[in-house]
Structure 1
Amino acid sequence: MRAATTLAAKLELAGPEQLVSYLPRRHEDRRQGWHPSMGLPEGPVNFQGVVTRSKLNRWRGRKCSVEIDLEVISKGLETGDRVRILFYHLPFMARAFPEGKRVAVYGRLEEKSGILRTIHPETETIEEGKEENIHLDRVVPVYPLIAGLNQRRVRSTLYHYLRNCWPQVEEAFPACEGMPSREESWRIYHFPSSLPEVEVARRRLAWEELVASRFGVLVRRAAREAIRVERPEKVRDLIGPWLANLPFSMTADQKTACGEIDADLRLGRPMHRLLQGDVGSGKTLVAAHALLRALEHGSHVALMAPTTLLVEQHAAALRKLLPPRMLEIVTWTSDSKPGPVGLFPRITIGTHALFAAKARLARLSLCVIDEQQRFGVKQRAAFLAKGERPDLLVLTATPIPRTYDLLMNGDLDKSYLREMPPGRGEVKTYVREAEAEEKIWAHLQDRIQVGDRAYVVVPRLGEEVQDPADEASVKRTYDFLVTRFGSRRVALLHGKMKEQEKLRILDGFRKGEISILAATTVVEVGVDVPEANFMVIDHADRLGLSQLHQLRGRIGRGGKSGKCILIQRAGGQEARERL
């Protein structure tokens, strides 16, 4: 009981009875026995054995290793085959495994010098008369951990406490036909007998979570639709002159999205709309339409973006798109803060500084959030709180699961941009192994000689890398590119640079003074250089699909076709299929 109370306090739970709701994040079937005749397996295995030798090897200083030889047992009989267990710098392990002791082992096997061995496996003593093991020889729950806890301690504490003191569990919803109750599902999760049984319990808990989420969304939507706002009269005409002077026509999807936004802004409740479109599909143009439409009836709107680079890009793009001398466009970041709203209608474009406690956005009527997936729920709420029931438009090219949940359950209305504007080039993507690196750099040199501009993206800055030859390091890549192409044609860009330095480098890249930009994923958003049509992403196996998609969207923006090369250095066949 004391161990359970201590664990509950460590997990910041109200008491040990709440440990029943601390569910495993996954389960492992450790019942399948292994013996050497099965060969060397790919994943971890479970087997039993008898200790035949235990040896402590000491090195200089306090370094040491413990070698434990086991004779493998299969079907209760000793097979004569041996496996060696290795523990490094844990000298007490030599005493924990005396000769003749029978143990169960779970770990990954490897062969070295003709000896099968496993390093730092999980082990458990097999005692005569003991009914059930906790960590091995069963379907084992694997719990989430925090600092200061280890898996064996958490699993053992929960096992003994819940076996002897199972608390009363309240059902959140009525029973669902064909599914276990919440209490039965939790019991299965803590004490599973098979993986199919766990799957049934998981589906029951997932159903409960989905119903709760759906109910919460419906309550929020009902509360939002109950809010009434008074739409002020139109005081100026901005959309008409803007459309008349627009140098190109909107796509059909853009016109549809603008019409849906106009309809929302005529309703007596605040707009909550998501605009989803691929990279380069013209979301900024639709956002500009929404900003102007709101300013026809008000005096202040705001657009929030996750990075200063993207803020500056939006400001430059909107100054080109929107009518001059009719409104004011200002930026608000951690380094710059505009003055109070004046006589002209204002568009404020800013970073997270917009929802800071000291930020004041007077008479705010519309909030636009770009790269919506980069902001949390509380951050979005803090931004909306700067106005009095303002309208909300969020933009994204790569929705995250939370966004899909809001869409499917009705908390956000949606508009889609499926059609790409004319003038976008096709981007072809190729996956290459590290052995093709020399050919890739030779091809890059050919592209630079004909006037192209290129990105070389590496996931890590590389300051903490101890062996740069084996690890991803944009600084190492930059040094290599300088050696090969010259310092005047190559520049380095990463997130730790000062904002003014970033903007200076990007300006040089846009003007053609820089041909190759070696960068981290800081260029994922906020970089629009139409002349850049070639990209190399090194260590692409370390990046998620959303990041790769956003990065690839930086090229092919000027009408020419682009080429993106993904260099895979690890991850095997699974990573290659994903790429």
Structure 2
Amino acid sequence: MGPSSLDTPLVYLKGVGPHRAELLKKELGIQTYGDLLAYYPFRYIDRTRFYKIAETTADLPYVQILVRLKSFELIGEGRKKRLLAQAIDDTGEIELVWFQGISWVQKHLVLNQVYVIFGKVNFFNAKAQMAHPEIELYQKNALSRGNLKLQPVYSTTEKLKQHALDAKGIQKLTANVLDSCLQEVINLLPEYVIQQYKLVPRAQALYQIHFPSNAEDLRVAQNTLKYEELFQIQFRMLRAKLIRTQKFKGHIFDTVGEKFNRFYHELLPFPLTNAQKRVVKEIRTDTQRGSQMNRLVQGDVGSGKTVVALMTMLLAVDNGFQACLMAPTEILATQHYLSLKALLKDDFVSIALLTGSTKKRERAKIAAMLESGELSILIGTHALIEDSVQFKNLGLAVIDEQHRFGVEQRAKLWRKNFIPPHVLVMTATPIPRTLAMTLYGDLDVSVIDELPAGRKPIETLHLFESQRLRMFGFMKREIAKGRQVYMVYPLIQESAKLDLKNLLDGVETMRHEFPLPKYQISIVHGQLKADEKEFEMQRFVKGQTHIMVATTVIEVGVNVPNASVMVIENAERFGLSQLHQLRGRVGRGAEQSYCILMSGDKLSKDGRTRLETMVKSSDGFEIAEIDLQLRGPGNIEGKEQSGVMELKLADLAMDQHILAEARKTVIKIFEEDPQLEKPEHQCLKILLLKSDTGITLNKIS
């Protein structure tokens, strides 16, 4: 396995040099020949036709015109200096003007020569003008790459443009790399996969995506590279899963015993939905295989994930093991503890809570009970992964809202036992299927897509600022019924001070409508200390305040059954998934609940779509799909997710079919040839050496 030219630092490429190489690294993250090949054009300009000067209008996009250069001169001094040229064709005259790079352009202009000019035509005093056109000598039979066909356009920056690294400059460098290295590009996909999906060899795809001969060649090149990109992500994830199932033995839960049966037949407060039954069955199957379970349970707010987690914990206890549940915050851990205690009614299972606030004496007691095996279920926060917490026989770890924990934190929990515990991950963030396959491709995914019978859907209304008094009147009527209200303001990092001012101004206005002492208001925002926040939250939880006003997103999972109204101020500034999460804070009791989306009168197209979606749909997965199409996959819950941010070409909203096919192919390969021993799979071994989806390749020797 020798080094490839594609790993060569860009500084050695003709036309780059140390200064430009450093700029490309800083501005675009491009460091090697391979990085440059993986820097794809973001659009293409059709250069297949010429316009006449008389045909051009101000409405046209960028056009190319064949002209003869009539004259050119330098005008002005200093910063006002510009190069002005007059050009003609058989239908009229056009003025060309350059404000930058003047000496370089002037050096290449020759009177009476025919040029291809390319740019946006504007009109000044009815005269056609083109500012900063691209210009090159017309050669009738030239097949110059990108000249008269589909021209690639690359994203660039002002700094790069100052060093002649505009789209055209990047195009030239890419052409140099292709000239010197294209023969070294090897296929990462097996030949039969390329044939089956009508793809093309990798070298051909890379050439055609930068310099397409026609629209069809471009489509096939894009399709090939998208498939390859999604294939690589699935390959890495499914291989990690394969290694885990082979390497990590798992405890076998083969008994459905007294605890599980008693809870199911006597204590369950409502019948399980079909979705809950299906997920419990999937978990039962996982825990009997003899390999470690790693299952993600996705379920909308209120779908009954906690009951499924509890039944799994009771299954572990029935088989002689301990179980734990780790939540990201103290308030959420406490809530899980209280809701599990309420479900279990009496102490037929020993259960304890461990958080940062747990007193020293209580900690020592919990530690002793854990080590002796006397304690069956432990609920807690990060405190669970401290070295002092030692289980006698941990068989199951339930992790709530996994994206809030780091990989190392989760791994510490696994190391609490000689044989790693089964892992059940829960999330209330509905994730579209395509995204789940990418984010959690190494986990088995279960979806609870049904709400328990009898739960009333939350009514959602969209009101404009002019309807604020109507909203206040509604709040008063609900409070008069003994209910409570959340009022949430957006918190956008860039305008945190402005957001806080909006909240404080909002509270000032509300004081007139909701005067003391009749109405009590809790206020929570980022400037408060942790204990002050906790105090205000607890006042609301205990029912001592009627309204909670907050800039921070109300903690995922905060459960106040008496809160029946969620008012979201400036709702157009929130993402769809955020709006859906906030709406889920109400509707937890038996009463009808409401979500009121307040917005300004002027809305962008996307803003209107988001609010209309919220009003018409309460299905978290449908909302997540629309959110993916509106926002793209970059951020889920505001956290960058590895595996998604690496995508250079594929779009998870648009390319779901490609992802599904790629995943299906990878699964089949690992089923039939897990060690990649077949000759046709030797090319895949290179993926084992690659740590990212870039183009840095080695040639197999």
Q: Distance in 2 between matches of 1:434 and 1:367?
A: 47
Match of 1:249 in 2: 270
Is the contact made by 2:572 and 2:607 (CA closer than 8 Å) also made in structure 1?
Answer: yes
Alpha-carbon shift at residue 550 of structure 1 (Å): 1.5
Q: Distance in 2 between matches of 1:462 and 1:12?
A: 24
Match of 1:262 in 2: 284
Match of 1:575 in 2: 607
> For residue 557 of structure 1, what is the amino acid of its counterpart?
R
- Choose the corresponding residue for 1:17, options 26, 33, 39: 33
Q: Distance in 2 between matches of 1:155 and 1:180?
A: 26
Alpha-carbon shift at residue 52 of structure 1 (Å): 11
Q: Distance in 2 between matches of 1:163 and 1:207?
A: 24
Q: Which aligned pairs between 1:122-137 and structure 2 lie closer than 5 A?
A: 123-128=132-137
CA 1:162/1:48 → structure 2, altered by over 3 Å: closer, same or farther? closer
SS in 2 for 1:238: helix
SS in 2 for 1:126: strand
- Choose the corresponding residue for 1:159, options 171, 194, 200: 171
Match of 1:324 in 2: 347
CA 1:300/1:466 → structure 2, altered by over 3 Å: closer, same or farther? closer
SS in 1 for 2:190: coil
Deviations 1:397-440 (A, max 9, x none): 3125676316996x433443333223422212223444434433
Alpha-carbon shift at residue 462 of structure 1 (Å): 7.7
Match of 2:398 in 1: 368
CA 1:188/1:97 → structure 2, altered by over 3 Å: closer, same or farther? closer
Flag the structure with more relative contact order, 1 or 2, with Cα contacts below 8 A and sequence separation at least 6. 2
CA 1:5/1:318 → structure 2, altered by over 3 Å: closer, same or farther? same
Deviations 1:160-214 (A, max 9, x none): 3321232221211234133222122222333346665443222212222333344
CA 1:52/1:9 → structure 2, altered by over 3 Å: closer, same or farther? closer
Alpha-carbon shift at residue 271 of structure 1 (Å): 1.6
Is the contact made by 2:293 and 2:424 (CA closer than 8 Å) also made in structure 1?
Answer: yes
CA 1:514/1:555 → structure 2, altered by over 3 Å: closer, same or farther? same
> Unpaired segments of 5 or more residues in structure 1?
58-64, 86-90
Alpha-carbon shift at residue 558 of structure 1 (Å): 0.7
CA 1:354/1:369 → structure 2, altered by over 3 Å: closer, same or farther? same
Match of 2:618 in 1: none
Alpha-carbon shift at residue 140 of structure 1 (Å): 3.5
Match of 1:477 in 2: 506
Q: Distance in 1 between matches of 2:357 and 2:200?
A: 53
Is the helix fraction higher in 1 or 2?
2
Q: Distance in 2 between matches of 1:73 and 1:472?
A: 57
Q: Which aligned pairs between 1:196-215 and structure 2 lie closer than 5 A?
A: 197-215=217-235
Is the contact made by 1:313 and 1:528 (CA closer than 8 Å) also made in structure 2?
Answer: yes
> For residue 161 of structure 1, what is the amino acid of its counterpart?
L
Q: Distance in 2 between matches of 1:195 and 1:207?
A: 18
Deviations 1:233-278 (A, max 9, x none): 9899533444465261332333443343234333312222222222
Match of 1:451 in 2: 482
> Unpaired segments of 5 or more residues in structure 2?
1-12, 66-70, 110-114, 612-701
Is the contact made by 2:251 and 2:421 (CA closer than 8 Å) also made in structure 1?
Answer: no
CA 1:125/1:379 → structure 2, altered by over 3 Å: closer, same or farther? farther
**TM-score, normalisation: structure 2:** 0.64
Q: Distance in 2 between matches of 1:531 and 1:480?
A: 25
- Choose the corresponding residue for 2:330, options 287, 304, 308: 308
Alpha-carbon shift at residue 374 of structure 1 (Å): 4.3
> For residue 153 of structure 1, what is the amino acid of its counterpart?
L
- Choose the corresponding residue for 1:530, options 538, 557, 561: 561
Q: Distance in 1 between matches of 2:302 and 2:123?
A: 49
SS in 1 for 2:171: helix
Q: Distance in 2 between matches of 1:435 and 1:70?
A: 54
The number of residues matched between the two structures is 551
Q: Distance in 2 between matches of 1:122 and 1:341?
A: 79
> For residue 16 of structure 1, what is the amino acid of its counterpart?
T
SS in 2 for 1:170: coil
Q: Distance in 1 between matches of 2:477 and 2:279?
A: 42
Is the contact made by 2:251 and 2:395 (CA closer than 8 Å) also made in structure 1?
Answer: no
1:489 has 2:520 as partner: yes
**Larger mean Cα displacement after TM superposition, 486-495 or 32-41:** 32-41
CA 1:422/1:7 → structure 2, altered by over 3 Å: closer, same or farther? same
Q: Distance in 2 between matches of 1:265 and 1:208?
A: 34
Q: Which aligned pairs between 1:405-554 and structure 2 lie closer than 5 A?
A: 405=437, 411-460=442-491, 464=495, 473-486=502-515, 489-495=520-526, 497-523=528-554, 525-554=556-585
CA 1:127/1:8 → structure 2, altered by over 3 Å: closer, same or farther? closer
Is the contact made by 1:494 and 1:519 (CA closer than 8 Å) also made in structure 2?
Answer: yes
Deviations 1:9-47 (A, max 9, x none): 558989632234433373254769899986769xxx436
CA 1:125/1:228 → structure 2, altered by over 3 Å: closer, same or farther? closer
1:185 has 2:205 as partner: yes
Q: Which aligned pairs between 1:97-136 and structure 2 lie closer than 5 A?
A: 123-128=132-137
SS in 1 for 2:545: coil
Deviations 1:347-388 (A, max 9, x none): 3334456557x6755343211122235456665445434443
CA 1:54/1:229 → structure 2, altered by over 3 Å: closer, same or farther? same
> For residue 269 of structure 2, what is the amino acid of its counterpart?
F
Q: Distance in 1 between matches of 2:33 and 2:461?
A: 54
CA 1:421/1:465 → structure 2, altered by over 3 Å: closer, same or farther? closer
> For residue 165 of structure 1, what is the amino acid of its counterpart?
V
SS in 1 for 2:553: helix
Deviations 1:548-570 (A, max 9, x none): 22111111111222221223446
SS in 1 for 2:378: strand
Q: Distance in 2 between matches of 1:441 and 1:228?
A: 59
CA 1:141/1:105 → structure 2, altered by over 3 Å: closer, same or farther? closer
Is the contact made by 1:353 and 1:359 (CA closer than 8 Å) also made in structure 2?
Answer: no
**TM-score, normalisation: structure 1:** 0.76
Q: Distance in 2 between matches of 1:69 and 1:190?
A: 32
